[in-house]
């Protein structure tokens, strides 16, 4: 459903009226397109404190127009604060951004690079944690479709895929997030425009909505996509797979033999990217929720993810360098009235990621991450009552709903073979929603 309020604010009467009444004016977000794949303008590289990493070669390798000064209208600003260890050095973050933040282009980006808090140094830990409050607050006030995120890292080379993502239109609805990037074996795709070329990806719940967008985005990036959905949606799945040059699979993901049936359709007997996206809702307050409504949601949204993942890993079908991603939800982080079952299932995905990620990497060489969408414009949210829908759209720093492609682009970043340093992360794609942390 179209956001009519946002369309109204782009008209002359709408701009006048909403400004006079002090109402939000959502800025158009710049998203990726083949015609305009990059932000318009240079990237300003600034430092605070003595940098602990050498970022310049990585930024140069991205092909972006990186400058250390003299950019009057930067498309993005990267502040290297990895070496900030004292309150005095923390002031340099303010000093770096204060003169330039107003000049950042609409739909621009601010990326602050920090270091993991050091438990042996409570001063460093305090100021590095301070960067999180700084970034989240700046994200709430910067406006005009601009986003602010924090990346904690110890190795610059491992952060290239993350910087490419955050400094591009692909991250339009990722705002106020804290992402950790650990040192990993450096993998450089032959073609950054098609990093998944020669790889097979499977997306569950892929016939429509967010799942279809994920499938399309992974195919754009070069993957052969297996489009999996319930048998009732098999016709839609086949149509989408046909357009993408992929494979359709009509399957109830809760079936006991689901993993075996997935294995049978893999074109080369391996699955490089597994995207758990299938999910259902059966909303009702707990006092009115029968056991079958609880069980059906937990079976689809969580139990099937656990069982399928365990089986595919045990069978060795996900090779080293493989990627497992899942669609969680901010409902699992912040809770939501009438959704105790759904929120439990999505919080379960967060728990799965945190526990499985280090073990899957150590034992199988596979990363595990999750995307937690906020209010996304889908057929499901279009059916939400008007006032609740409007609240969902406006209660974030970008004062608008996201699109399925915003979730898809984040899955694609996780799936990138160069994202080996991104593991155990739950990244909210919510425009920095006011709900939850």
* pLDDT band at residue 28 using 50, 70 and 90 as cut-offs: very high
Give the model confidence (pLDDT) of 261-306 as tens digits.
999 999 889 999 999 999 999 999 999 999 999 999 999 999 999 9
The H or E element that residue 327 is part of is strand 323-327
Is the pLDDT assigned to residue 414 strictly greater than 60? yes
- Give me the pLDDT at residue 357, please: 98
Please tell me the distance from the alpha carbon of residue 93 to that of residue 128, in angstroms, as a whole number: 11
Longest C-alpha distance within the chain, in Å? Answer: 63
Q: Between 429 and 14, whose confidence is greater?
A: 429
Residue 316's region, left for phi above 0, alpha for psi from -120 to 50, else beta, is left
- The runs of H, that is alpha helices, within 46-121 are 56-61, 87-97
- The pLDDT of residue 2 is 76
Only one residue has tokens 């967010």, namely: 210
pLDDT at 22 over 90: no
Burial classification of residue 195, based on how many CB atoms lie within 10 Å of its CB (0-12 exposed, 13-18 middle, 19 or more buried)? buried
Beta strands in 99-213 (DSSP E): 109-114, 147-153, 178-181, 200-204
Helix axis angle, 304-314 to 258-265, nearest 10°: 50
Q: Are 400 and 29 in contact (CB under 8 A)?
A: yes
Q: What is the pLDDT of residue 381?
A: 75
Q: Give the mean pLDDT of 418-423.
A: 98
Which residues, including other chains, have CB under 8 Å from residue 412's CB and lie 6 or more apart?
170, 196, 214, 217, 218, 221
* Cα separation of the two ends of the chain: 28
Q: Is the pLDDT of residue 67 over 80?
A: yes
Mean pLDDT of 132-143: 97
Q: Are 62 and 38 in contact (CB under 8 A)?
A: no
CA distance 279 to 205: 7
| 257 pLDDT higher than 80 | yes
Mean pLDDT of the chain: 95
Q: What percent of the chain has pLDDT over 90?
A: 88
Residue 407: its H or E element: helix 404-415
DSSP conformational letter for 28:
P
Question: Is 312 strand, coil or helix?
Answer: helix
pLDDT tens sequence across 322-340: 999 999 999 999 998 999 9
What is the set of domains in the chain, with CATH numbers? 37-181 (3.40.50.720), 200-429 (3.40.50.720)
pTM of the predicted model, to two decimals? 0.96
Cα separation, 177 vs 174, in Å, equals 7
Catalytic-role residue among 5, 32, 165, 342: 342
5 is catalytic: no
| Predicted pLDDT of residue 1 | 64
Residues 112-119, mean pLDDT to the nearest whole number: 97
The answer to whether residues 289 and 341 touch, using CB atoms and an 8 Å cutoff, is: yes
Nearest CA among 219, 345, 220 for reference residue 278:
345
Q: Residue 371 is encoded by which pair of tokens?
A: 């995307």
pLDDT tens-digit profile of 363-393? 999 999 999 999 999 887 767 777 778 888 8
At residue 437 the predicted structure's pLDDT band, cuts being 50, 70 and 90, is low
Dist. CA 428–CA 374, nearest whole Å: 7
For residue 247 the two structure tokens come to 């494979």
Dump pLDDT digits (tens) for 1-17: 678 888 888 888 888 88
Instruction: List C-alpha distances in Å: 356 to 94, 101, 179, 269.
Output: 38, 39, 18, 23
Query: Do 124 and 89 form a contact (C-beta atoms < 8 A)?
Result: no
The predicted pLDDT at position 145 comes to: 97
Torsion of CA 369, 212, 372, 153, to 10 degrees: 40
pLDDT band at 436 (very low <50, low <70, confident <90, very high): low
Q: Which pLDDT does position 85 carry in this prediction?
A: 96
Closest CA to 26 of 310, 400, 384, 368: 400
Per-residue confidence (pLDDT) for residue 385, from 0 to 100: 75
């Amino acid at each position: 459903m179209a956001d009519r309020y946002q369309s109204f604010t782009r008209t002359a009467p709408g701009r006048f009226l909403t400004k006079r009444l002090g109402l939000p004016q959502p800025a158009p977000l710049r998203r990726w397109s083949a015609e305009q794949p990059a932000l318009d303008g240079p990237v300003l590289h600034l430092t605070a404190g003595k940098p602990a990493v050498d970022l310049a070669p990585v930024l140069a390798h991205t092909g972006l127009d990186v400058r250390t000064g003299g950019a009057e209208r930067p498309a993005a600003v990267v502040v290297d604060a990895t070496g900030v260890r004292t309150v005095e050095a923390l002031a340099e973050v303010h000093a770096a951004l204060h003169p330039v933040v107003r000049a950042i282009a609409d739909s621009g980006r601010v990326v602050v690079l920090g270091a993991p808090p050091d438990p042996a140094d409570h001063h460093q830990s305090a100021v590095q944690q301070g960067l999180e409050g700084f970034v989240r607050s700046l994200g709430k006030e910067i406006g005009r479709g601009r986003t602010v995120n924090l990346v904690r890292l110890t190795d610059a080379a491992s952060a290239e895929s993350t910087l490419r993502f955050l400094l591009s239109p692909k991250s339009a609805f990722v705002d106020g997030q804290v992402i950790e990037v650990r040192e990993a074996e450096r993998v450089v795709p032959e073609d950054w425009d098609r990093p998944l070329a020669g790889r097979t990806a499977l997306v569950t719940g892929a016939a429509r909505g967010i799942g279809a967008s994920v499938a399309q985005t992974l195919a754009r990036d070069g993957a052969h996509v297996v489009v999996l959905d319930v048998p009732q949606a098999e016709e839609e799945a086949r149509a989408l797979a046909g357009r993408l040059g992929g494979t359709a699979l009509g399957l109830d993901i809760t079936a006991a033999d689901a993993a075996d049936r997935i294995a049978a359709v893999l074109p080369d007997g391996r699955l490089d990217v597994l995207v758990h996206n299938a999910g259902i809702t059966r909303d009702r307050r707990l006092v009115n929720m029968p056991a079958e409504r609880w069980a059906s949601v937990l079976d689809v949204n969580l139990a099937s993810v656990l069982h399928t993942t365990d089986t595919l890993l045990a069978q060795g079908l996900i090779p080293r360098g493989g990627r497992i991603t899942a669609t969680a939800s901010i409902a699992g982080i912040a809770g939501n009235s009438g959704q105790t079952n759904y929120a439990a299932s999505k919080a379960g995905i967060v728990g799965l990621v945190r526990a499985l990620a280090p073990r899957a990497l150590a034992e199988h060489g596979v990363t595990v991450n999750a995307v937690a969408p906020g209010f996304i414009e889908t057929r499901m949210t279009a059916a939400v009552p008007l006032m609740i829908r409007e609240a969902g759209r406006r209660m974030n720093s970008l004062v608008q709903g996201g699109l399925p492609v915003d979730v898809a682009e984040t899955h694609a970043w996780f799936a990138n073979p160069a994202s080996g340093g991104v593991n155990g992360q739950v990244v909210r794609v919510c425009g920095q929603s006011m709900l939850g942390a």
